[in-house]
Amino acid sequence: MGRFADLLAEPGVEEQVVLGSTFGFMAFHGGSLEVGTDPIAVAAASASGSSVYVVRQPPGLRWHVPSRDVDPAASAPLRRFLDHVDVAVAVHGYGRAGRWTTLMAGGSNRDLAGRVATAIEQRLPEYDVVCDLDAIPVELRGLNPTNPVNRPRQGGVQLELPPRIRGNGPFWDGHPSRAEGRPTPHTEALVAALAEVATGW
Protein backbone atom coordinates (compact mmCIF):
# COMPACT_ATOMS: atom_id res chain seq x y z
CA MET A 1 0.00 0.00 0.00
CA GLY A 2 2.99 2.25 0.62
CA ARG A 3 2.96 5.91 -0.24
CA PHE A 4 -0.75 6.21 -1.07
CA ALA A 5 -1.73 4.80 2.31
CA ASP A 6 0.68 7.22 3.96
CA LEU A 7 -0.87 10.13 2.04
CA LEU A 8 -4.40 9.16 3.06
CA ALA A 9 -3.27 9.08 6.70
CA GLU A 10 -2.01 12.68 6.55
CA PRO A 11 -4.07 15.19 8.59
CA GLY A 12 -6.53 17.08 6.42
CA VAL A 13 -6.47 14.73 3.44
CA GLU A 14 -10.01 13.94 2.30
CA GLU A 15 -11.45 11.20 0.10
CA GLN A 16 -14.84 11.50 -1.53
CA VAL A 17 -16.73 8.85 -3.48
CA VAL A 18 -20.22 9.15 -4.95
CA LEU A 19 -21.61 6.23 -6.94
CA GLY A 20 -23.87 7.09 -9.84
CA SER A 21 -23.76 5.58 -13.31
CA THR A 22 -21.07 3.15 -14.46
CA PHE A 23 -19.19 6.06 -16.06
CA GLY A 24 -16.70 7.51 -13.59
CA PHE A 25 -14.64 10.64 -13.05
CA MET A 26 -11.54 10.72 -10.86
CA ALA A 27 -9.23 13.38 -9.44
CA PHE A 28 -6.85 11.77 -6.99
CA HIS A 29 -4.30 14.61 -7.11
CA GLY A 30 -6.87 17.20 -6.03
CA GLY A 31 -6.93 19.95 -3.46
CA SER A 32 -3.71 21.94 -3.16
CA LEU A 33 -1.68 19.66 -5.47
CA GLU A 34 -3.23 19.89 -8.95
CA VAL A 35 -5.51 22.81 -8.19
CA GLY A 36 -8.94 22.78 -9.80
CA THR A 37 -8.98 19.12 -10.82
CA ASP A 38 -11.33 17.85 -8.12
CA PRO A 39 -14.03 20.52 -8.66
CA ILE A 40 -14.01 19.70 -12.39
CA ALA A 41 -14.41 15.97 -11.75
CA VAL A 42 -17.18 16.52 -9.20
CA ALA A 43 -19.04 19.00 -11.40
CA ALA A 44 -18.86 16.77 -14.49
CA ALA A 45 -20.12 13.80 -12.49
CA SER A 46 -22.94 15.81 -10.94
CA ALA A 47 -24.05 17.17 -14.32
CA SER A 48 -24.14 13.72 -15.91
CA GLY A 49 -25.21 11.47 -13.03
CA SER A 50 -21.83 9.74 -13.16
CA SER A 51 -19.72 8.30 -10.35
CA VAL A 52 -16.80 10.22 -8.91
CA TYR A 53 -13.76 9.57 -6.71
CA VAL A 54 -11.48 12.35 -5.51
CA VAL A 55 -8.65 12.89 -3.07
CA ARG A 56 -8.13 16.42 -1.76
CA GLN A 57 -4.92 17.61 -0.13
CA PRO A 58 -5.20 20.47 2.37
CA PRO A 59 -3.43 23.82 2.02
CA GLY A 60 0.26 23.45 2.73
CA LEU A 61 0.48 19.84 1.54
CA ARG A 62 1.64 19.06 -2.00
CA TRP A 63 2.48 15.35 -1.99
CA HIS A 64 2.57 13.81 -5.45
CA VAL A 65 1.99 10.07 -5.31
CA PRO A 66 2.52 8.75 -8.87
CA SER A 67 -0.63 7.40 -10.45
CA ARG A 68 0.85 3.91 -10.68
CA ASP A 69 1.15 3.92 -6.87
CA VAL A 70 -2.45 4.97 -6.15
CA ASP A 71 -3.29 1.52 -4.86
CA PRO A 72 -6.90 0.44 -4.26
CA ALA A 73 -5.62 -1.91 -1.56
CA ALA A 74 -5.09 1.23 0.56
CA SER A 75 -8.58 2.67 0.08
CA ALA A 76 -12.03 1.12 0.51
CA PRO A 77 -13.68 4.12 -1.24
CA LEU A 78 -11.42 3.67 -4.27
CA ARG A 79 -12.19 -0.05 -4.37
CA ARG A 80 -15.93 0.68 -4.29
CA PHE A 81 -15.54 3.12 -7.14
CA LEU A 82 -13.47 0.77 -9.32
CA ASP A 83 -15.81 -2.16 -8.67
CA HIS A 84 -18.77 -0.03 -9.75
CA VAL A 85 -17.61 1.74 -12.93
CA ASP A 86 -17.01 0.32 -16.40
CA VAL A 87 -14.89 3.23 -17.63
CA ALA A 88 -13.35 6.40 -16.19
CA VAL A 89 -11.81 9.77 -16.95
CA ALA A 90 -9.08 10.86 -14.53
CA VAL A 91 -8.65 14.64 -14.35
CA HIS A 92 -5.06 15.76 -13.82
CA GLY A 93 -3.23 19.08 -13.92
CA TYR A 94 0.11 19.92 -15.49
CA GLY A 95 1.98 23.06 -16.48
CA ARG A 96 4.64 23.43 -19.15
CA ALA A 97 5.88 26.48 -21.02
CA GLY A 98 4.33 26.76 -24.46
CA ARG A 99 1.47 24.38 -23.65
CA TRP A 100 -0.96 26.74 -21.91
CA THR A 101 -3.78 25.78 -24.29
CA THR A 102 -2.83 22.12 -24.84
CA LEU A 103 -4.75 19.30 -23.18
CA MET A 104 -3.57 15.69 -23.43
CA ALA A 105 -5.76 12.60 -23.48
CA GLY A 106 -3.80 9.49 -22.54
CA GLY A 107 -4.96 6.28 -20.91
CA SER A 108 -5.90 2.88 -22.28
CA ASN A 109 -9.34 3.63 -23.82
CA ARG A 110 -8.47 5.34 -27.08
CA ASP A 111 -12.06 5.46 -28.36
CA LEU A 112 -13.12 7.41 -25.29
CA ALA A 113 -10.06 9.67 -25.59
CA GLY A 114 -11.16 10.62 -29.09
CA ARG A 115 -14.67 11.41 -27.94
CA VAL A 116 -13.36 13.55 -25.09
CA ALA A 117 -11.09 15.46 -27.49
CA THR A 118 -13.88 16.12 -29.97
CA ALA A 119 -16.32 17.31 -27.32
CA ILE A 120 -13.81 19.71 -25.77
CA GLU A 121 -12.62 21.16 -29.08
CA GLN A 122 -16.21 21.76 -30.19
CA ARG A 123 -16.90 23.86 -27.11
CA LEU A 124 -13.42 25.34 -26.70
CA PRO A 125 -11.84 25.74 -30.17
CA GLU A 126 -9.05 27.85 -28.69
CA TYR A 127 -7.67 24.69 -27.05
CA ASP A 128 -6.04 21.66 -28.64
CA VAL A 129 -6.48 18.15 -27.27
CA VAL A 130 -3.59 15.83 -28.13
CA CYS A 131 -4.74 12.22 -28.53
CA ASP A 132 -1.76 10.83 -30.43
CA LEU A 133 0.12 8.93 -27.74
CA ASP A 134 3.42 9.46 -29.56
CA ALA A 135 2.91 13.22 -29.20
CA ILE A 136 2.28 13.02 -25.44
CA PRO A 137 5.34 12.99 -23.13
CA VAL A 138 5.90 9.46 -21.85
CA GLU A 139 5.35 10.44 -18.23
CA LEU A 140 1.91 11.90 -19.06
CA ARG A 141 0.53 9.08 -21.23
CA GLY A 142 -1.18 7.27 -18.36
CA LEU A 143 -0.73 3.78 -19.78
CA ASN A 144 0.56 1.92 -16.73
CA PRO A 145 -1.89 -0.91 -15.96
CA THR A 146 -1.73 -0.10 -12.23
CA ASN A 147 -2.88 3.47 -12.90
CA PRO A 148 -6.39 3.57 -11.38
CA VAL A 149 -7.89 5.00 -14.57
CA ASN A 150 -6.92 1.83 -16.43
CA ARG A 151 -8.38 -0.54 -13.82
CA PRO A 152 -12.10 -0.32 -14.78
CA ARG A 153 -13.40 -3.03 -17.12
CA GLN A 154 -13.15 -0.79 -20.19
CA GLY A 155 -10.13 1.20 -19.06
CA GLY A 156 -10.17 4.97 -19.21
CA VAL A 157 -8.65 8.31 -20.16
CA GLN A 158 -5.99 10.29 -18.32
CA LEU A 159 -6.88 13.90 -19.12
CA GLU A 160 -4.05 16.37 -18.47
CA LEU A 161 -5.19 19.98 -18.10
CA PRO A 162 -3.01 23.12 -18.21
CA PRO A 163 -3.60 25.83 -15.59
CA ARG A 164 -5.69 28.12 -17.80
CA ILE A 165 -8.57 25.71 -18.36
CA ARG A 166 -8.58 24.94 -14.62
CA GLY A 167 -9.12 28.65 -13.92
CA ASN A 168 -5.60 29.34 -12.70
CA GLY A 169 -2.79 31.60 -13.83
CA PRO A 170 -2.40 35.22 -15.00
CA PHE A 171 -4.81 34.80 -17.94
CA TRP A 172 -7.70 35.17 -15.48
CA ASP A 173 -6.30 38.09 -13.46
CA GLY A 174 -9.08 40.61 -13.00
CA HIS A 175 -11.81 38.34 -14.38
CA PRO A 176 -15.05 38.56 -12.35
CA SER A 177 -15.22 34.79 -11.92
CA ARG A 178 -12.00 34.78 -9.93
CA ALA A 179 -13.13 37.62 -7.69
CA GLU A 180 -16.47 35.89 -7.10
CA GLY A 181 -14.96 32.45 -6.46
CA ARG A 182 -16.85 30.72 -9.26
CA PRO A 183 -15.61 28.66 -12.23
CA THR A 184 -14.25 30.53 -15.23
CA PRO A 185 -16.09 30.29 -18.57
CA HIS A 186 -13.43 27.89 -19.88
CA THR A 187 -13.83 25.60 -16.89
CA GLU A 188 -17.61 25.65 -17.26
CA ALA A 189 -17.32 24.72 -20.94
CA LEU A 190 -14.92 21.89 -20.10
CA VAL A 191 -17.31 20.50 -17.50
CA ALA A 192 -20.17 20.64 -20.03
CA ALA A 193 -18.07 18.77 -22.60
CA LEU A 194 -17.11 16.05 -20.14
CA ALA A 195 -20.69 15.67 -18.95
CA GLU A 196 -21.85 15.36 -22.57
CA VAL A 197 -19.36 12.56 -23.21
CA ALA A 198 -20.37 10.71 -20.02
CA THR A 199 -24.06 10.99 -20.79
CA GLY A 200 -23.62 9.74 -24.34
CA TRP A 201 -21.21 6.90 -23.63
Average pLDDT for consecutive 10-residue bins of the chain (201 residues)? 87 98 98 97 98 97 96 97 98 93 98 98 97 96 97 98 95 89 95 98 93
pLDDT of 1: 40
pLDDT of 178: 83
Distances 2 to 34, 68, 132 between C-alpha atoms, Å: 21, 12, 33
Pick one of 3.40.50.720, 3.40.630.100, 3.30.360.10, 3.20.20.70 as the CATH number of 2-200.
3.40.630.100
Q: Are 93 and 102 in contact (CB under 8 A)?
A: no
CA 141/CA 124 separation, integer angstroms: 22
- Between helices 37-48 and 185-200, what is the axis angle to 10°? 50
CA 112/CA 4 separation, integer angstroms: 27
* pLDDT per residue as tens digits for the range 114-147: 999 999 999 999 999 999 999 999 999 999 999 9
**pTM for this one?**
0.96
What does the domain layout of the chain look like in residue ranges? 2-200
